[in-house]
Amino acid sequence: MADKRTLDHRATGPLGHYSGYELVIGLEVHAQLKTRTKIFCSCPVGYGGEPNTNVCPVCLGLPGVLPVLNDEVVRLAIRTGLALGCSIAPRSRFARKHYFYPDLPKGYQITQYLEPLAFDGWLDIPGKRVRVRRCHIEEDAGKLIHAGASSMVDFNRCGVPLIEIVTEPDLRTAEEAEVYVNNLRRILQYLDVSDADMEKGHFRAELNISVRPRGSNEFFTQTEVKNLNSVRALKGAIEYEAKRQIELHGRGESVKKQTLLWDDRTGETAPMRSKETAEDYRYFPEPDLPPLVIRPEEVEQIRASLPELPAQRKERYIAKLGLSEYDASVITADPAYADYYEKILKAGADPKPAANWLTTEVAGALNEQGIGITEFRVKPEAIAELIRLVRDGKVTGKVAKDVFAEMVASGGNPSAIVEAKGLGLVQDDGLLSRTIDEVISAEPDMVARYRSGKTQVLGALVGAVMKKSRGKFPPQKVSELLAKKLSE
Amino acid sequence: MSELCDRTVHELIAGLRQGEFESPDIVNSVAARIAAREPTVNAYITRLTDQALEQAGKLARPDSSSSALHGIPLAIKDNICTKGVLTSCSSNILHNFVSPYDAHAVSCIKAAQGIVIGKTNLDEFAMGASTEFSHFGAAHNPLDLSRVSGGSSGGSAASVAYGGAIAALGSDTGGSVRQPAAFCGVVGLKPTYGRISRYGLVSFASSLDQIGVITRDVVDAALLLEVVAGRDERDSTSVNVPAGDFVPQDNDIQQIRIGLPRECFVEGLDPGVRSSVQEMLTAIAPHCACVSDISLPRLPHSIPTYYLICMAEASSNLARYDSVRYGLRAPDCATLEEQYERSRGLGFNDEVKRRILLGTFGLSKGSIEEYYGTGQKVRTLICQDFEQAFKSVDVIVTPTTPTTAFRVGEKLDDPLAMYLGDIYTVAPSLAGLPAISIPCRARVNGLPVGLQIIGRAFDEKTVLKVAYAFEQVAKWPSGQGV
The CATH number linked to B341 is 3.90.1300.10
Taking only the tens place, the pLDDT of each residue in A273-288 is 655 555 799 999 999 9
Q: Which segments of chain A have a pLDDT < 50? A: 1-16
The CATH number linked to A435 is 1.10.10.410
Amino acid code (one letter) for A273: R
Does A466 share its domain with A403?
no
A203 within a domain of the structure (yes/no): yes
Minimum-distance CB partner of B337 among A69, A275, A290: A275
User: Residue B152 catalytic?
Assistant: yes
Q: How near does any CA of chain B get to the CA of A66, in Å?
A: 6
DSSP secondary structure letter of residue A358: I
Residue B477 burial (10 A CB sphere; 0-12, 13-18, 19+): exposed
A303 within a domain of the structure (yes/no): no
Top residue of A40, A41, A42, A62 to mutate, by most chain B CBs within 10 Å, is: A62
Residues 94-113 of B with CB under 8 A from A: 94, 97, 99-101, 103
The sheet that has A95-98: what strands, in order across it?
Answer: A108-111, A95-98, A284-285
Q: How near does any CA of chain A get to the CA of B207, in Å?
A: 6
Amino acid code (one letter) for B8: T
Note the pLDDT of residue B1. Answer: 61
Minimum-distance CB partner of A288 among B206, B318, B365: B206
Nearest residue in A to B317, CA atom: A106
Q: How near does any CA of chain B get to the CA of A309, in Å?
A: 35
For residue A349, CA distances in Å to A380, A385, B267, B342 come to 10, 8, 92, 73
Last residue of a domain, one of A298, A321, A348: A298
- List the domain range (segments joined by +) for residue A60: 9-298
Minimum-distance CB partner of B365 among A61, A280, A289: A280
Does A209 share its domain with A347?
no
Residue A67 burial (10 A CB sphere; 0-12, 13-18, 19+): buried
Nearest residue in A to B371, CA atom: A284
Minimum-distance CB partner of A63 among B97, B363, B364: B97
Q: How near does any CA of chain B get to the CA of A365, in Å?
A: 52
Active-site residue, selected from the candidate residues B91, B152, B197, B323: B152
- Asked if the Cβ–Cβ distance from B99 to A102 is below 8 Å, we say no
Does A379 share its domain with A462?
no
In a structure prediction context, what are the per-residue pLDDT tens digits for chain B, which is 482 residues long? Answer: 689 999 999 999 999 999 999 999 999 999 999 999 999 999 999 999 999 999 999 987 777 778 899 999 999 999 999 999 999 999 999 999 999 999 999 999 999 999 999 999 999 999 999 999 999 999 999 999 999 999 999 999 999 999 999 999 999 999 999 999 999 999 999 999 999 999 999 999 999 999 999 999 999 999 999 999 999 999 999 998 877 789 999 889 999 999 999 999 888 899 999 999 999 999 999 999 999 999 999 999 999 999 999 999 999 999 999 999 999 999 999 999 999 999 999 999 999 999 999 999 999 999 999 999 999 999 999 999 999 999 999 999 999 999 999 999 999 888 888 888 999 999 999 999 999 999 999 999 999 999 999 999 999 999 999 999 999 988 876 544 43
Active-site residue, selected from the candidate residues B90, B159, B171, B176: B176
pTM above 0.95, yes or no: no
Does A363 share its domain with A447?
no
- List the domain range (segments joined by +) for residue B378: 1-482
- A71: contact with B, CB 8 A cutoff: no
Does A225 share its domain with A318?
no
Looking at the structure of chain A, the number of domains it has is 3
Does A282 share its domain with A318?
no
User: Residue B353 catalytic?
Assistant: no
Torsions phi, psi of A403, nearest 5?
A: -60, -45
- B233: contact with A, CB 8 A cutoff: yes
Spatial separation of the C-alpha atoms in residues B76 and B62, rounded to whole Å: 23
User: Residue B478 catalytic?
Assistant: no
Note the pLDDT of residue B480. Answer: 47
| Cis ω for the linkage preceding B152 (within 30 of 0) | yes
Minimum-distance CB partner of A106 among B94, B319, B326: B319
Q: How near does any CA of chain A get to the CA of B216, in Å?
A: 28
Collapsing DSSP states into helix, strand and coil, what is residue A364? helix
CA nearest B396: which of B291, B265, B286? Answer: B291
Looking at the structure of chain B, the number of domains it has is 1
A184 within a domain of the structure (yes/no): yes
Which value does ipTM take for this structure? 0.95
